[in-house]
Structure 1
Amino acid sequence: MAVTLGMGRKFLRMMTALVLPSFVTVAAAAATAPGFTPGSPNVAVADPVVPRPAGRSCVVPLFNAFQFVDFSNHPYTYAPPTGCGRAWSKVVLEADFSVTAGRQFDRTASLWLGGANLYFGTTQEPSSTVAPSWHIERDVSDFASMLANPQTGQAILGNVVDSTYTGVISGSARLVFYPANVLAPKVDAPDAVFPLSDGTAGGPVTLNTGTDTLSRTFTLPTNVERAYLDVFAQGQSGDEFWYSCVPDEFADQLQSCGGGSYRETQVSIDGQAAGVAPVYPWIFTGGIDPYMWRPTPGVQTLNFLPYRVDLTPFAALLNDGAPHTVTVSVTGAHGYFAVTGNLFVYQDHGRKKLTGALTANTLQGQAPTATIGNTVTDTNGVVIGGVTTNASRTFRTSGYVDTSHGRITTDVSQTVAFANTQNFTIDPTQYVQDIDQRATVNSTTKTRQGPLNIGTTNTVTYDFPLTAKFAYAFDADGNITSSPSQVTQGFSRHFTKKLGALTLYRSDVDNHISTADTLAFTDNAVTGHSGQASTQTFRFSDNLGSCYGRDVVTTTGTLTSATDGGGCSGGRNRLLWFTHPDGSPDTSRTEDPGAF
């Protein structure tokens, strides 16, 4: 009965927030979305900002007007806010970046605090006449336990500024705290954060091969109820275009990068396989054809989302008071991936030591192995055909812990699949490469608690589609004359939480971009481009009344239109303050097994 009453109290708190004014409502669909100017060449994305609770806030600057002109790290210090207490309903990271007009590459950017990663992304490239600026936001409420104490941090954004590369990147960042109140209760944040970084003040770890690992050993609290690992794996250098690579035996014939296209992140605890994370095919703003990404970059290019791996079935193993090693690797890494992660744990506040057991782990022993198919033919120097790469695993991890409020059993069942098909046409007049790739996850998590076996069932699906076509036309002397490129990229996440047959929460996120451009060449040097056009469409909705839609259209490197409210009643965006419309991990409110 205590379990039922506890769930009821949480449900009432949530319902109180719903029935009183708690929506953020923005402009109708027919008008240009706020903050956008048709004809502008500045960065324009359809992504939503982080919704906030009503009321006052406290701002803590992390750094202001840092200039990134070399590869030195930029340290800063943090102290908790004054005047906002220590109970927060939400904490939001905000950052603003800009780069002066000129020549400059896209650069990787990351922000760290207490060794933990707060932000990971890349920068926009400038042009000779356009100095772009952009704004990023991230819900960092999961770091509340760490933010309660002073910390040191650093910004990492390596850049080269010289007579050739003239673009100077600048940035500022701050944390915004929202004090908890009756309408916006204190966030149920994890009790502790354990960074998987480079072991200093924070930084990603380089994994050059599939056998390289990021490993960190922790002695965790002995009363862990739940554990989650947020993972970032960013392809760099030879792995920047990993989705376009083919197995080594075909690389020379197809004039493509080797190592194959199969990439997947593996997570283990003390050498035992514990979880899998798909790798998102982020495309940087200098990727393939830089003009395709001006002014709208690819999906998540400026602000990566981590993938959250549920390690709760292993909680009993972590609670023995002994050191435990959490390891991350990237299957297929081929020089190289930049990898980091944050381990979040929730503790039982009523008992110092929990016992239990891992009862099932069918992932152990299932190697991440791809099946390769080849239809390539070479007839008198004309190469036609394709290479297919497929991988799929279905597995289950299950375990329980005996807590101060009863036994909690967690059962995670997942199917993780990867498919990549590449078709080539190579002859003296052209080089054409078509890519069709999809990574998917289908996951069901069942949580049961107490003698009445009360619990919830969470189902979530992820879909990361990517299609791309690169083409080069050659003249009689073998010089490139043009290069048309097309890319369609997507991110979908669909979540449902049920108590029996009753749907407690449902959310749907879809973020897609389609873009194209044609480069012109003279003597194999780019002399111009034509036909740039892109459309980004973002949709979010849930069963509590939230709805967000934005469509951003660009042509010839400038914004054509940005309209809000697509798919929403009355053509208006409405977001409840506690939602995650960007699709980022959310296990502190709506997706918490005990949130309702």
Structure 2
Amino acid sequence: MQNPGPMSLLLSVLLFFFCEASSSLLSLPDYYLLHNQSFSTEPQEYLDPTLPPLLPPTGAPSCSVHVLQHEFANTYGSPPASTSFIPPEACPPPWFHVVLDLSISCFGDQYDRIAAVWIAGAEVLRTSTAEPTDSGIFWRVRKDVTNYASLLRNADGVEISMMLENIVNDIYTGIYKANLSLEFYPDSDDVISLGRSKRGRNALEIRPYDPFMSGSKLGKVFEGEKKKLLPALEDPADLIIPVCRKNSSNGYWFRIYNQSDEHFARINIPRNTFRAVLEVFVSFHSNDEFWYSNPPDVYIKDNNLTSQRGNGAFREVFATIDGRFVGTVLPFPVIFTGGINPLFWAPVVAIGAFDLPSYNLDITPFLELLLDGKNHSIGLGVNDGISFWLIDANLHLWLDSDSQVVSAKLTRYEAPPVSVVRANKFLHLNGTFKTDAERKAHFSGWVNSSMGNMTTDVNHKFKIKSSLDIQNNGNYKAVHLKAKAKTEVKTKNNQEVILSRVSHKLKYPLAIVTLTLPEMKNTYKSMTNLSHTLYEEATVFMLEKLINSKIITDKQEASGWMQVEEHSVLLGSAATKQKYQYSNNNKCYTRNVRAKDGVVLDDTATDACEIDL
């Protein structure tokens, strides 16, 4: 065997360096730290340009109660910060609106952190933090929490808790300072803009058409059903039961570490419950923070990679009652402010980062399983999930005040397993991975209460198409996700007349393309283009007449580059633009924001109606 010549030796060395660098790049983090970064000499406000809470025309609350002030420093693994809340005498219930107001500030070096607020163990806000700078940042989250008003009416007081797990040391110096308040607005005879009514407690306005008007034929036929049907659609629940960890020493949320790690809560509901909705809160972290970009385990193993971010690019959150599947959640891929390229999210954060979405599962058809006065188990888990997910839920219950006991029956149960088809094709570090997933479920059940015998029909389906393309020995990575879900809930009387029909559609298109170039001295340059959209459409029909139509389109596009050493961003440049559009019964709100290199270049809001996807 001959010794290699100088040129052959040089090529071998370069090839060895390139392959080694490429292999390690695939194991680099997708989350980063804005180390020693400042975009302003003064503290800078960060923002999430979404619809502000819909408030009465006066705009001023009857009273504002400061609930909690806390500095979250070394709080990882510690219990939440808690306080006792008593309804203010100056503005006792009932309230037309209740708004949660959370303000946070921080300066120094710190990763993004997950946080949540609970009232009596029921989560009302899942949020995350922005990454601070040396000059400091601050932001504000205002959320309408009127749907949780029943938790706040306890005259003896209720515990309000906030958790923000943070670590402070010589490297991570940022301490998150939080102030939490509640604003209370009195009942009003005024009809609020954008579809808020006097009785309504959410954005679904059903007053313009009243099929039950006195003297009408329909009014006489369904006079007995009016009393409870309308409150069931628009009013907050009479009772909310948390589905969470009972011991809050490490937060009320469950921690899910793998696909078989289902967690349960024991609940007992009143026997006069005639409607039930399970509201699920989720967030994903560590090896599953970017689950939509994870390759299959076989790719990681065959290439001897150290990354543990595997198990493919499909995830599904599910709920059970006593072990029986009752619903599914398709999680929206929220990107935290240290993710992909943190320069994208300064000072405009990613969609949902300050107010992560929750997901409603109507489980009224399953009331037969719960109305026997006994304890039952509600379970939550993640199909294909890996470490780790934070999950809890609230069980919203509507009670029949004219009955002590109602009867119910599950009449239809169709829940075939989720269908997942995977196609993996790779050679060494280059490959393409495709995942198609689909699920359909149909549940029906009747409830016989003082309003009569009502049947609730729930149809749910979703489809996911995911592709992951890895080329250039692992230095090029393209993620494309198309996810859509539709749920339809119909309420019928015993004459099979459809009294109400609510349809809810979701679409989550996501595209991320990244090219990474190795550099010397343990640094590399990463260039990324991103497009991300949340599309939501909700319609309400009463006796097959359209009563309400709500559409939200929230779209972000970002591009830029960064030079990175380990987790720290040394320098870079990025531009982000976002268009948020809200339409409710032809009343609209549109906001356009453009930012570059930490500076907001344009921020305009109008009442124009131009919904697009």
TM-score under structure 2 length normalisation: 0.81
Q: Counterpart in 2 of 1:105?
A: 111
Residues 459 and 177 (structure 1), Cα distance of their counterparts in 2 relative to 1, 3 Å cut: same
CA distance in 2, matches of 1:457, 1:70: 46
Cα 1:522–1:62, aligned 2, differ >3 Å: closer, same or farther? closer
CA distance in 2 between partners of 1:523 and 1:240 (Å)? 18
- The equivalent residue for 1:25 is none
Q: Which residue of 1 aligns with 2:608?
A: 567
State whether residues 405 and 450 of structure 1, in contact with CA within 8 Å, keep that contact through their aligned partners in structure 2.
no
Query: SS of 1:539's equivalent?
Result: strand
From 340, 352, 356, the equivalent of 1:288 is 340
When residues 126 and 525 of structure 1 are mapped into structure 2, their CA distance, relative to the original with a 3 A threshold, is: closer
Bigger Rg over Cα: 2
Match of 1:582 in 2: none
The answer for the alignment partner of 1:551 in structure 2 is 592
Matches within 5 A, 1:85-164: 85-100=92-107, 102-129=108-135, 131-149=136-154, 150-164=157-171
- Aligned: 1:375 with 2:378: no
SS at match of 1:143: helix
Aligned to 2:526: 483
Tell me if structure 1 keeps the 8 A contact 2:272–2:400.
Answer: yes
Contact 2:498/2:544, CA 8 A, preserved across alignment: no
Q: Deviations over 1:298-354 (max 9, x none)?
A: 101111110111111112322121211111101111111011111111111111111
- For the 8 Å contact 1:361–1:398, the answer to whether it is kept is yes
Counterpart CA distance in 1 for 2:328 and 2:423 is 24
Q: Which residue of 2 aligns with 1:333?
A: 385
Q: Does 1:418 align with 2:464?
A: yes
Q: Which runs of 5+ in 2 are unaligned?
A: 1-39, 191-197, 202-234
Q: Verify the 8 A CA contact 2:245 2:265 in the aligned structure 1.
A: no
Tell me the amino acid that sits aligned with residue 399 of structure 2.
Q
Structure 2: distance between partners of 1:161 and 1:521: 22
Alignment-derived partner of residue 204 in structure 1: 253
Separation (CA, whole Å) in 2 of partners of 1:523 and 1:53: 50
Question: CA–CA distance in 2 between the matches of 1:496 and 1:76?
Answer: 39
| Unmatched runs of 5 consecutive residues or more in structure 1 | 1-36, 574-596
Q: Using the TM superposition, give the Cα deviation of residue 377 of structure 1 relative to its aligned residue in structure 2, in angstroms.
A: 3.1
Deviations 1:221-243 (A, max 9, x none): 00111111111121111111111
% same residue: 26
Alpha-carbon distance between aligned partners in 2 of 1:388 and 1:462, rounded to the nearest angstrom: 21
Distance across 2 between alignment mates of 1:107 and 1:249: 31
* One-letter amino acid of the counterpart of residue 471, structure 2: T
Secondary structure of 2:151 counterpart: helix
Structure 2 residue identity aligned to 1:362: E
**Aligned-partner SS, 2:388:** strand
TM alignment of 1:19-30, pairs within 5 A? none
- CA shift, 1:451, in A, is 4.9
SS in 1 for 2:287: helix
Give the Cα separation in 2 of the matches to 1:221 and 1:481. 59
What does residue 195 of structure 2 align with? none
Tell me if 1:51 matches 2:92. no
Distance 1:83 1:40, change over 3 A: closer
Distance 1:54 1:333, change over 3 A: same
* Native 8 Å contact 1:45 1:536 kept in 2: no
Pick closer, same or farther for the CA change 1:478–1:367 going to 2, 3 Å. farther
CA distance in 1 between counterparts of 2:93 and 2:525 reads 59
Question: Does structure 1 residue 465 correspond to structure 2 residue 472?
Answer: no
C-alpha distance in 2, partners of 1:526/1:111? 31
Distance 1:154 1:417 in 2: 36
Q: What CA distance in whole angstroms lies between the structure 2 residues aligned with 1:384 and 1:226?
A: 52
Report how far residue 452 of structure 1 moved: 7.4
Give the distance between the partners of 2:299 and 2:348, measured in 1 at CA: 34
Does the 8 A contact of 1:331 with 1:368 survive in 2?
no
Query: 1:376: Cα distance to partner?
Result: 2.1
Structure 2 matches for 1:441-520, cutoff 5 A?
441-449=485-493, 451=495, 453-474=497-518, 480-520=523-563
C-alpha deviation, 1:106, in angstroms: 0.6
User: Deviations along 1:37-86, whole A, 9 cap, x unmatched?
Assistant: 9x995313311211112354222221135444433331211111212232
CA contact (8 A) 1:115 1:200 kept: no
TM-score (norm 1): 0.83
Higher relative contact order (CA 8 A, sep 6+): 1
What amino acid is the match of 2:240? V
1:449 and 1:263 map into 2 onto residues whose CA distance is 37
Determine if the alignment matches structure 1 residue 190 to structure 2 residue 237: yes
C-alpha distance in structure 1 between counterparts of 2:437 and 2:65, whole Å: 46
Q: How many residues align structurally?
A: 520
Task: Pick one of 82, 86, 101 that aligns with 1:79.
Answer: 86
Give the distance between the partners of 2:72 and 2:300, measured in 1 at CA: 40
The Cα of 1:176 is off from its aligned counterpart by 1.2
Partner of 1:536: 578
Q: Distance in 1 between matches of 2:43 and 2:578?
A: 16
Query: Aligned partners of 2:63, 2:183: CA distance in 1, in Å?
Result: 6
Give the SS at the match of 1:316: helix
Residue identity in the other structure for 1:260: G
**Cα pair 1:87 1:186 within 8 Å, conserved:** no
